[in-house]
Amino acid sequence: MSDTTYDAIDVHVHVATGDRLRGEAPDTATQDAARAYFGAARAHVTADEVADLYRGLRTMAVIFDVDTEARTGRKVSNDDIADAVKRHSDILIGFATVDPWRSNSAIKEVRRAVEVLGLRGLKLHPGIQAFAPNDHRFYPLYETCADLKIPIIFHTGMSGIGAGMPGGDGIRLKYTQPLLLDDVAVDFPQLTIIGAHPSWPWQEEMLAIARHKSNVYIDLSGWAPKYFPPSLVQQAISLLQDKCLFGTTRSSPPSAG
């Protein structure tokens, strides 16, 4: 363990695991569109690259992948996240991912990821994983996370994945509306919920929920600060200054811009 003191924690860093890490996931039209949208030369970055970069930035990083196997066939690996954290325990914090539609197996995997692998949170993407966060079928998963005392990061607002593609590549933005998380926050008051990104075009909803629910936070990843709406800036430097979390959504290596 390093004795280095870090200046910040980036709570939202995507890394490659499973098929992508091993070069077994060929590029797709979706990945090409995502690279164009994000202005990235590559579709993903490895945890080792993140660790090397963030040490120089004196910043710790929360890393995770997103389970999209149901719609893409690409396998992810929570074990790869755990292995990366072991290699870089001074700089990386690992979160798990599961497909919430997998019901009991998803619950078992979250428990294994936390109790065996030592991961410290869960990442879900309602748009890509095609689920409404307030659907009661997923409540047993949230109950498990509350029991394990781990936070869940939910993607909110427009998805860069599928952006500009016909039909948005089948991704329905209705699942990413922050107001759906309000029900989850009410029904699981002991569960820490993080609404990722500035939640465009529903930023006011996310601000209201974070103001109203003590267990709800906002991460500011995915948008350049110059594009933050005035209401977000005003709240982030005043009433919500302790509930707005720094994040970047870094998914490409620094050489890609």
Residue-wise pLDDT tens digits, 186-200 = 999 999 999 999 999
Residue-wise pLDDT tens digits, 111-165 = 999 999 999 999 999 999 999 999 999 999 999 999 999 999 999 999 888 888 8
Nearest to 119 by CA among 139, 140, 95: 95
Percent residues over pLDDT 90 in the chain: 77
- Domains along the sequence of the chain with CATH: 8-256 (3.20.20.140)
Tokens of 136: 């009661």
Q: Kindly report the CA angle at 111 between 161 and 52, in degrees rounded to 5?
A: 55
Distance CA 248, CA 221 (A): 4
